């Protein structure tokens, strides 16, 4: 498969099982392709955003950690209480090699997370809430496992907000006084290929 077809191949996964299998296959070359070939910059932007919001000693869940790109940037900023979850075992193995996480769990963001309520000071989720990946309802679980006063940061392609049910989930969580919007910023997702793709980084505070 050519590198140019990789994202289309991932987005065409028909279910969570196939998605996990495809990420298992991609794990070895993921960092090189995303960072060097595409210029994927959302992980660094998200880590920088969190550094302005939450002290370094907070327990942070990297939801859909993949190979640990967000954790790598957070570790360089002084965060040392990081927990990684991902649907792919091989991606988590790559994340272990970065030596920035304390805990690793294979979990599906489309299902109930195996954590107690109020487990984390913050949740970050980069590039996971998108087509054929974690559904909008995943945000309910992120709210549940985040302490009151904590933050949820996630990226979302601008063209997925209306079509994937995120607008409805936002309204539900706001009307139920589960969270409040802190800010939303739009960024060019890739600096080399697919430069037309834009992600918003959403920041909500749990109430």
The string of pLDDT tens digits covering residues 25-39 is: 988 988 888 777 777
For 110, the domain range is: 3-206
pTM to 2 decimal places: 0.91
Q: Which of 81, 122, 125, 130 is nearest to 107 (CA)?
A: 125
Which tens digits make up the pLDDT trace of 147-184?
999 999 999 877 777 778 899 999 999 999 999 999 99
Residues 84/101, Cβ–Cβ less than 8 Å:
yes
Give me the DSSP letters along 135-198: -TTHHHHHHHTEEEEEEEEEEEEGGGTTTTTHHHHHHHHHHTTSEEEEEEEEEESBSSSSTT-E
Share above pLDDT 90 across residues of the chain, in percent, rounded to a whole number = 59
Question: Could you tell me the CA-to-CA distances from 185 to 63, 105, 125, 145, 204 in Å, in that order?
Answer: 20, 30, 15, 24, 12
Distance (Å, whole) CA 23 – CA 66: 8
What is the enclosing helix (H) or strand (E) of 46?
A: helix 42-51
Distance (Å, whole) CA 204 – CA 170: 10
Instruction: Count how many domains the chain has.
Output: 1
If you compute the radius of gyration of the chain from its CA atoms, what whole number of angstroms results?
16
pLDDT band at 195 (very low <50, low <70, confident <90, very high): low
Residue 150's CATH number = 3.40.50.150
**Region at 165 (left for phi over 0; alpha for psi -120 to 50; beta for the rest):** left
Which tens digits make up the pLDDT trace of 100-133?
999 999 999 989 999 999 999 999 999 888 767 8
Give the count of beta carbons closer than 10 Å to the beta carbon of residue 158.
12
Residues 199/187, Cβ–Cβ less than 8 Å:
yes
pLDDT band at 194 (very low <50, low <70, confident <90, very high): low
């Amino acid at each position: 498969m050519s590198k140019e077809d990789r994202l289309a191949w991932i987005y065409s996964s028909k279910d969570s099982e196939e998605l996990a299998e495809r990420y298992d296959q991609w794990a070895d070359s993921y960092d090189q392709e995303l960072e060097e070939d595409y210029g994927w910059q959302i992980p660094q932007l998200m880590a920088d955003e969190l550094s302005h919001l939450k002290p370094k000693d907070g327990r942070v869940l990297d939801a859909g950690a993949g190979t640990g790109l967000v954790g790598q940037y957070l570790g360089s900023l002084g965060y040392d209480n990081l927990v990684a979850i991902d649907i792919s075992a091989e991606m988590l193995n790559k994340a272990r090699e970065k030596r920035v996480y304390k805990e690793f769990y294979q979990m599906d963001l489309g299902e109930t997370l195996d954590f107690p309520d109020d487990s984390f000071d913050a949740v970050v989720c980069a590039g996971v809430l998108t087509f054929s990946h974690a559904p909008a309802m995943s945000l309910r679980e992120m709210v549940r496992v985040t302490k009151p006063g904590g933050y949820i940061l996630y990226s979302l392609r601008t063209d997925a907000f209306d079509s994937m049910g995120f607008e409805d989930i936002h309204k539900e969580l706001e009307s139920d006084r589960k969270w409040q919007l802190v800010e939303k910023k739009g960024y060019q997702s890739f600096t080399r290929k697919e430069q037309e793709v834009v992600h918003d980084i959403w920041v909500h505070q749990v109430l």
